[in-house]
Amino acid sequence: KNKENKMSWSQYVDALTNAGFTSAAVLGTQDGGNTYSLYAISNGFNISESEINVLLGTFKDRTTAQTNGIRLNGVKYIPSLNPIQIEDDKFYCGRITNPVGGFVVAKSNTLALLGVYDANLQPGQANTALLTNRDFLSG
């Protein structure tokens, strides 16, 4: 069932930015999702280890993200739904102030894909593009 991975991780980041995301990252886990490492990230997009921990820790406990929002590359995103809706191993947050947009994060057993978008990409399009790539990688 697994597809042979002939692309480098950075090519998956490129696929996401080509789909309309302004920034993207591929994160991997070796321990079932307790910790994640950065496999590839788009140029100019910097995510700190603490930002990664809050972002992906939200899948296990929504409290911090719900209360304080989620910062990526220093930009604060607020969950659009209270409580944060996690379905199909993905969730999203948005911004209504500058910069307008949001992010989608989706995970599998070994990977998490993150895509940040601006007003040029609609949330539904962002969800579809990210899940398509996640499902391809998941086999």
CB crowding 53-77: b at 16 or more within 10 Å, else e: ebbbbbbeebeebbeeebbbeebeb
Question: In this predicted structure, which of 9-23, 51-65, 73-87, 121-135 has the lowest mean pLDDT?
Answer: 73-87
Residue 34 has pLDDT above 90, yes or no: no
Q: What is the pLDDT of residues 69-123, one digit of tens each?
A: 899 998 888 876 666 777 768 887 877 677 788 999 999 888 999 999 999 998 8
Residue 39 has pLDDT above 80, yes or no: yes
The amino acid sitting at 23 is S
pTM of the model: 0.88
Beta bridge partners of 112: 27, 107
Confidence (pLDDT) at 1:
38
